[in-house]
Structure 1
């Protein structure tokens, strides 16, 4: 669990979340133009205490986004370049024999940091990918029967290319489920790309500095969970969406209860980043695709006919009645 400081280092309540989110988004936009929505989702994922998967074709700014996010919160950051020959111990660490002490000593791997950038995570073997399962779920690493906690706050930000299939391994459902959100960036429009080209021609990319302290992130994660209200209507709305995915004919596997809980966390963080003390249906819909789409498994028939998880989820969201919240409910 994240450590909560004795005194809050940010403004009280979700006002602190909004100002912190705006600062991080502005920092990211110095190097990633025209992707405000993706930046806000990434920040919501950070404040919700989840891990982030950025999936897109090469050259769209995946690495720029994750590096900017890491630079914005300070702390320690380690980048791991995933390759087919990467070993689990290259991530978690290994016990080495020391002649002088005549004993084994654990040498920590790069996962012992605040932000892990897992670049092209799907290029490592399933065995190596599984080295992240425990630490992403429990914030600890077990080696040779001994458990070692990682620093807090802890965040894994991974990238993967969905197009290049040679030398890659599909992330299993258990690994995908560890990511609170999966987002894509897409190509910029003409005006934004022109701005990028002119900016890079005139000067080097800016050097980013932290705008949010680590203790702020830990405190905000705790504050958002306890202070952002989820009404019974919103809880039922999310439950109905999850149930609809389980009954949908195009889906072999729908949303689990853990997926529903993930959507609650993300919606709370999204609301807090906008300065609200309560979750609305708009918060649920704004985060639903990023939180749920990668947890869905299409049926064979749906895959053959070109359906996508995001498309099926959009159908589900359109089919479930959106609740109307009264002032007293919110």
Structure 2
């Protein structure tokens, strides 16, 4: 009787498994469509992100002529979530570039003209005494122009170091602290700071530690003859095509870019590039660990814009110059000989070997 009692529930359990075999063991093989669904979703995200980047790039090229390489790096930095330092003589289109980009993104845009008398509170904001109901008074915070999705910090090296530090701290922490209270900045938050060449009068050089806060530094060159002729042929200022994206879409693209994978040999190549900047005797000090992070962040976006699902060594090489040029300090002898940081970066790229892929 005891054995019969045991056999009855066993038989019932066997019948249940036969009737619903997948319910009994969820660890069995899944349909091919279910296995491929996450991959298809990831590919769709990458394609949407690539399309957003291409739309922004095409919109900039429709307005800004003769600066294609700089425009690509600006879009790369934007999608990587970093900030840009733009150097060039007056009249090369620095202000027009960031105004156009703000219109394409559709976010809030503020311009800050840096001057020697600009105070930190003029950038960050301040508290004012305001009247309240009942006849009383209270303090109310009035946000400064730093509270925007895109901020143009025009001629940043004309401001005093104290005001420069206020902006750069906000860039690094993506929040400002006024009167002891931290206030978050809008997301996404992108600063494009312009500076005049150091040879010009009335400028305050940015310290090396603060330069490191910029993801990339770009140098706008004088357009060639054909480009100047095309610019001169324009009867009026070109108008940007209007919003081609949104802050929300931009934040989603930035998140997608952060997930682009990279192989160990690519990561090690980026690290070797940074270490190689410490080798030449003409370099007073080379790039630091943050440079490796910047190289990989920009390389991920470059791979995304090129339609690749993973970072390649060529992506790292393609962003090395704008990422590293402002993170090197040359010695006095090298500067006296006319050597530039760009020369060192080019030499490092030529002499740093690439590991074989494992």
The two structures have a TM-score, normalised by structure 2, of 0.84
How far apart, in 2, do the equivalents of 1:163 and 1:132 lie?
19
1:1-330, aligned counterparts within 5 Å? 12-100=44-132, 101-162=136-197, 164-199=199-234, 201=235, 203-226=236-259, 228-325=260-357
Q: CA deviation at 1:163?
A: 5.0
Q: Deviations over 1:189-244 (max 9, x none)?
A: 22222111112x3x442244111111111011111111x11111111101111111
Q: Which has the higher contact order (CA 8 A, sep 6+)?
A: 1
Contact 1:119/1:159 (CA < 8 Å) preserved in 2? yes
Q: Measure the CA separation in 2 of the matches of 1:35 and 1:133.
A: 26
Counterpart secondary structure, 1:13: helix
The Cα shift of 1:313 comes to 1.1
Q: Give SS of 2:85's match.
A: strand
Q: How big is each residue's C-alpha offset from its partner over 1:286-328, in whole Å with a ceiling of 9 and x where there is no partner?
A: 1111011101111222122221111011111111013455xxx
Match of 2:13 in 1: none
Structure 1 vs Structure 2 CA RMSD? 1.6
Alpha-carbon distance in structure 1 between the residues aligned to 2:111 and 2:43: 32
Number of residue equivalences = 314
Conserved in 2, the CA contact under 8 Å of 1:57 and 1:163? no
Distance 2:266 2:304 in 1: 16
Q: Which of structure 1's runs of 4+ aligned residues deviate more than 3 A?
A: 99-102
3-state SS in 1 of match to 2:100: helix
Structure 2, unaligned stretches of length 5 or more?
A: 1-41
Q: By how many angstroms is 1:34 displaced?
A: 2.5
Q: Under a length normalisation based on structure 1, what TM-score does the superposition of the two structures give?
A: 0.91
What is the distance in 2 between the residues matched to 1:224 and 1:267? 10
Contact 1:21–1:40 (8 Å) recurs in 2: no
Larger mean CA deviation between 54-63 and 137-146 belongs to 54-63
Paired residues of 1:281 and 1:323 also in contact (CA < 8 A): no
1:113-172 superposed Cα distances (whole Å, 9 cap, x missing partner): 111100111110000001112210111000111000011000001111105532110011
CA contact (8 A) 2:62 2:240 kept: no
Distance 1:163 1:175, change over 3 A: closer
3-state SS of paired residue (2:278): helix
**Are the aligned partners of 2:175 and 2:184 in contact in 1 as well (CA < 8 Å)?**
yes
Larger helix percent = 2
Distance 1:204 1:109 in 2: 30
Residues 1:132 and 1:271: Cα distance change in structure 2 (over 3 Å): same
Give distance in 2, aligned partners of 1:73 and 1:44: 14
